[in-house]
Amino acid sequence: MNNNILLVGNPNVGKSTVFNALCNTKQKTGNYAGVTVSSHSGEYVYNGKPFTVTDLPGAYSIYPSSKDEAVFSDYLLKEKGKYVGVVYILEALSVKRGLLLFKQIQDLGIPMLLVINQIDEAEKRGITIDIDHLAKDLGVKVLKMSAKENKGIEELKSSIFNDEFQSLQNSSFIIPSEQKNKLQNTDYPSWVQLLSDEGLAKEKGITPKRLQVQETVRRYQQIDGIIQGAISQKKQPQQLLTEKLDRLLVHPFWGYVILGVLLLLIFNCVFFLAEYPMAWIEESFTALGEWVATHLPEGPLNSLLVDGIIAGLSGIVVFAPQIFILFYFLYVLEDSGYMARVVFLMDRLLRPFGLNGKSIVPLVSGAACAVPAVMSARNIENTKERLLTVLVTPLMACSARLPIYSIIIALIIPSGTLLGFISYKALALMGMYLLGFVVALCSSWVLKHLIKAKEKSYLVMDLPTYKMPLWKNDFKLTLGKVWDFISNAGKIIFAVSIILWALAYFGPKQNQNEWIAADVEMQDSYLAKVGDVIAPVVRPLGYDWKMGIGIITSFAAREVFVGTIAILYGLDEELDPETAEGEREILTKMKSDVKPNGEKVFSFATGFSLLIFYAFAMQCIATIATVYRETKNLKWTLGQLVGMSGLAYLLAFLVYQILR
């Protein structure tokens, strides 16, 4: 039985929130356009009957102007018959704008339910919507909802269960008589197909954009008549809070100052608020290592678990609090509506570099993970700007870089504060994030002159009203993201730790009879031999063989570097990682480790060089695969990989040679 339902609507009307409420899931939501860039499916059961819900990317028209809108149009038109109806989500504050797409879908003959979301926000502004009047004029069932408060969800489930979808028998849109001879069937679906297919339109000798504009004008004339008797609004003599805040937050000067202060506060919290949870995690892993070491006999298994797997996993999990804090602040800013202002604010700044304001969504999202960030570039209509955004987004500091930045900054930046409350380490961390942003802009400026395109771009966007963030929902989303980070990195660390332990535990000079009894000296192990091969390549950057091993193992995912270093220093016989201060001893060992010539391994020059290397190196297979999938061009994918890797090596080399 077909029980598939589609969720459709304009961007930023709460589709993802409705989806989460229906299916009890944690799909990301954001108070700005372009959060959903591909379809998402979920399931729920109501009165014993299962339903499948698909959340499609937001769109303003049936005619796509960007890749995410193309996903919407293709699914709606080509998958017709695979779903029983469309639940159309309309924002109560923008009924007129939302009804354009609603009428287009309705004229396709698709069964629909209309849900007016954020009804509470409309009532606060003195807007009254006559649901019965609207339902009569539109010919569909209309429901009120406040999805964030979970109000109206039960009524929606009931309407879906009772199959209260309604469709028009005859299209309300009249095809221009002069165009009818160009259609095989003079119905609206054929009209949409003609205007959506550039090749067919050219063959028929028509200009799709002109006819689309004409249709839009005619439809809005019809919509004006519909809403005239259904919507009324009391006068608002006082200035709305949104307007007051926007005078400051999108100010051409103070807007940037406020953004900078917010970022500085976030990075300060990343260090200060995470300090105690990180210490608790360190102590827990130390206790676990002690327990395993005590209850297992000495030998390979004991060493594998304590020195390999536990040490490797602890090197990643310990940074979970910092990642949680960063993610949570980003979700709250998105949820509140502030990120939409950042898009608007940054448009003026990004234009000279070949980008537009919408590019800031992937760039900021890159602070969490480059994979969904690259995918969110689909929201950019201009082909050249979309390509530039895809190519430079991986330069932004992602959550996988955060553990590396944190441990290196802890090694080379002294403790202390500026003005009594701003940590030097927080300033250094913010500097690394700003460095990624600046280099991304510079790279885009260079690529802008290499990629030729005549297509003009523009930014037209709707600034949503400010909303109180859903703290609990954002908390759940953050927990999910942190768990994804730990589980994905943990799988790699688990495999890498076994390989590294085996290479470090055994050596070519070891007697086979001694394998069960004890491990070899680190310098005599197979791992040291591999390191000797790598050392000449990384030595000009100031790295020893251990860091070289870390760079190699972290090619699949950057965060593996920290786990690898923790394993290598934990396996060193001169250090006892099972003591009560085991994890801190590893950090102390890294600080005091010296090269054969007596120079500190983690000197300021070496540490800064390592920061620069990981700031620009493309050390992420998942991102490489995503870039190829989005560009469908091997040349750009390989060019990005070689360019970022070459830039990382060159700049790390220069930094070390200058600072040594």
Structure tokens at 32: 């700005």
> Is the pLDDT score of 534 beyond 90?
no
For 212-259, how does the pLDDT look when each residue is reduced to its tens digit (9 = 90+)?
888 889 999 999 988 888 888 776 645 566 777 888 888 888 988 998
pLDDT bucket at 578, cuts 50 / 70 / 90: very low
- State the pairing for strand pair 417-418/4-9: unpaired
**Interval 23-52 mean pLDDT:** 69
**What are the φ and ψ backbone dihedral angles of 44, each rounded to 5 degrees?**
-150, 160
The answer on pLDDT for 564 being more than 70 is: yes
Sign of torsion, CA 52 58 61 66?
negative
Q: What is the mean pLDDT of residues 61-83?
A: 76
| Rounded-to-integer distance, Cα 10 and Cα 589, Å | 56
Distance, in Å, from the CA atom of 543 to the CA atom of 563, rounded to the nearest integer, reads 17
Question: What is the mean pLDDT of the segment spanning 449-454?
Answer: 78
pLDDT at 185: 75
Annotated binding site: 9-16, 20-21, 55-58, 117-120
Among 397, 395, 355, 398, which residue's Cα sits nearest to residue 377? 355
In degrees, rounded to 5, the angle at the alpha carbon of residue 607 between the alpha carbons of residues 601 and 611 is 145
Residues at the binding site for GTP are 9-16, 55-58, 117-120
Q: Write down the CATH number for the domain with range 1-237.
A: 3.40.50.300
Q: How many CB atoms lie within 10 A of CB 628?
A: 16
Find out whether 478 and 502 touch, Cβ atoms under 8 Å: no
According to the model, what pLDDT value does residue 583 have? 42
Of 651 and 67, the one with more pLDDT: 651
| Residue pLDDT, tens place only, 133-144 | 999 999 999 999
Of the segments 24-33, 420-429, 568-577, 612-621, which one has the largest average pLDDT value?
Answer: 612-621
Instruction: Please report, in angstroms and rounded to a whole number, the separation of the first and last CA atoms in the chain.
Output: 70
**Mean pLDDT highest for which of 110-114, 123-127, 250-254, 397-401?**
110-114
Q: What pTM, to 2 d.p., does this model score? A: 0.67
Backbone angles phi, psi at 117, to 5 degrees: -90, 165
The predicted structure's pLDDT at residue 653: 96
Contact indicator for 75, 64 with CB cutoff of 8 Å: no
Q: Residue 116 in 3-state DSSP?
A: strand
Least confident of 168-177, 321-330, 567-576, 591-600: 567-576
Q: What is the mean pLDDT of residues 176-181?
A: 78
Q: Which residues are annotated as a binding site for Mg(2+)?
A: 20-21
The closest of 260, 324, 342 to 34, measured between CA atoms, is 342
Give me Rg for the CA atoms of the chain. 29
Higher-scoring residue by pLDDT: 612, 466: 612
DSSP, residue by residue, 366-392: TTT-HHHHHHGGGG--SHHHHHHHHHH
- pLDDT for 237: 47
Helical packing angle, 526-538 and 471-505, nearest 10°:
110
Quote the CA–CA distance of 246 and 338 in Å, as a whole number. 10
Q: Does the pLDDT value for residue 38 go beyond 70?
A: no
Residue 511 has pLDDT above 60, yes or no: no
428: left (phi over 0), alpha (psi -120 to 50) or beta: alpha
Which class for 243: exposed (0-12), middle (13-18), buried (19 or more C-beta within 10 A)? exposed
For residue 323, which amino acid is it? I
Tell which wins on pLDDT, 326 or 457.
326
